[in-house]
Amino acid sequence: ADVLVINKVDSARPEDVEALMRTAAEMNPDATVVQTRSCISVEEPERIEGARVLVIEDGPTVTHGGMAYGAGALAAKEHGAAELVDPRPHAAGSLADTLADYPHLTEVLPAMGYSTEQLADLEETIRQTPCDLVLVGTPMDLTHVIDIDQPALRVTYSVESAGVPSLETVVEEFVERMGLGSSS
């Protein structure tokens, strides 16, 4: 690769970022390395404070990716949720199987897919889970494809450069070098 992007340098341990930088330099010394951070945002974050929150995360990230949480859980904790509700006792259908297969998931509900059955299982699990608020931390806004009876907020994140060279500069240089800029 010509460019390597190391994301989440703001939340990773500094020694892990340094180790990754060393590995990148060792394995691909000619690559440009860009460091970025993921900036989490949620509309009306004050609604999270003191709430019992059900967090829905991107399924593949927290299952196959092995993470115990994602942007939704980080937003809940950052904004003072009283509790991240354990979805396991309330899981319906295929989600019960998924949560059994991934026992590290105790504070988040993975959205595993968008088939009719998967969406019905997700909707039923949410409906059965006693919570004050649902935080949707998935790439897709689930409120467009399922009914969520509880109040719900969407958690999103953006990637921002965290050093030099910036991601923007690297992309601009690539566009210029490839002659892909505007023809005017």
Note the pLDDT tens digit of each residue in 65-100: 888 999 999 999 999 999 999 999 999 999 999 999
Q: How confident is the model over 19-39, as pLDDT tens digits?
A: 999 999 999 999 999 999 989
**Does residue 138 contact residue 154 with C-beta atoms inside 8 Å?**
no
Global pTM reads 0.81
| DSSP-derived secondary structure letter, 142 | G
